[in-house]
Amino acid sequence: MTEPPRPPGAGDPGLPPDPTAPSGFPGPSGFAEPTAPLSGAPGPGSYPPPGGYPPPTGDQPPSGDYPPPGGFPPPGAGYPGAGGYGQPTGGYANNDDKTWALIAHFGGPLGVIVGGGLLGWVAPLIALMVRGQQSPTARAHAVAALNFQLTWAIVGVLSWVVALITCGVLFFVPMLVWLVPLIFGIIGGVKANEGVLYRYPMTYAFTK
């Protein structure tokens, strides 16, 4: 009895199937067609998966086109202690410190004008006594201005002595001496307004 015809690639009976042979059954064109899953579910590699992709879980990094949670910080706002909103501006803890620092520096030139070059130290001394014990910042400004004005008050007294000894020949010397505490006192006040402690030149440290 003759054997029924076998599919191509089936090989001889009793031998393992040929791994190079295409799987499935021959279709109308003569080539093997893949078999569909029996359960009706899409096979591996199907696109997209059943039900679509799952929603994001929230652990993905935010996109560059959208603000982070809570929004972006306002322009110019920094971090505390880095010159931003957590740190007072201008180098002063409050307005009182700044006010007394300005009194100490600008009061020197005013005392020079009123006292003939000899009273520039009065305003820094008042600032030191009133605010110096409460604020290290105000004390530093007051001490710097006081030492400078005291130094040039002494120089001013000596210039008057020189003018008297020369019978007025060197009358211009006290005027030149007055200009030094006047000009540098104004510079110190401008720097103090910017929050900078000005280091006066040509100063003897009477107090610290």
Read off the pLDDT of residues 171-191 as tens digits, 9 standing for 90 and up: 888 889 999 999 999 999 999
Residue whose entry in the numeric block shows the structure tokens 């900078």: 196
pLDDT of residue 124: 96
How large is the angle between the packed helices 136-165 and 122-131, nearest 10 degrees? 160
Report pTM: 0.56
Residue 103: pLDDT band with limits 50, 70, 90: very high
Report the alpha-carbon distance of residue 88 to residue 124 in Å, rounded: 24
Residue 126: pLDDT band with limits 50, 70, 90: very high
- CA-based nearest residue to 142, from 105, 194, 109: 105
Both structure tokens of 157:
């007294």
pLDDT of 17 strictly over 70:
no
Residue 208: pLDDT band with limits 50, 70, 90: confident
Report the alpha-carbon distance of residue 176 to residue 155 in Å, rounded: 11
pLDDT of 133 strictly over 60:
yes
Read off the pLDDT of residues 41-63 as tens digits, 9 standing for 90 and up: 555 555 555 666 666 665 555 55
CB 152 within 8 A of CB 206: no
pLDDT of residue 54: 63
- CA-based nearest residue to 122, from 205, 130, 87: 130
pLDDT of 192 strictly over 50:
yes
3-state helix, strand, coil in the chain (%, to 5): 40, 0, 55
Q: Find the range with the poorest average confidence among 21-25, 142-146, 158-162, 196-200.
A: 21-25
Residue 12 buriedness (CB in 10 A; 0-12 / 13-18 / 19+): exposed
Residue 105: pLDDT band with limits 50, 70, 90: very high
Kindly list the distances between the CA atom of residue 48 and the CA atoms of 55, 125, 164, 187, in Å, as whole numbers in the listed order: 14, 83, 106, 75
Express as a percent the part of the chain with pLDDT over 70. Answer: 57
Helix (H) / strand (E) element for 25: namely strand 25-26
Domain boundaries of the chain, sorted by first residue: 90-193
pLDDT of residue 21: 52
pLDDT of residue 151: 95
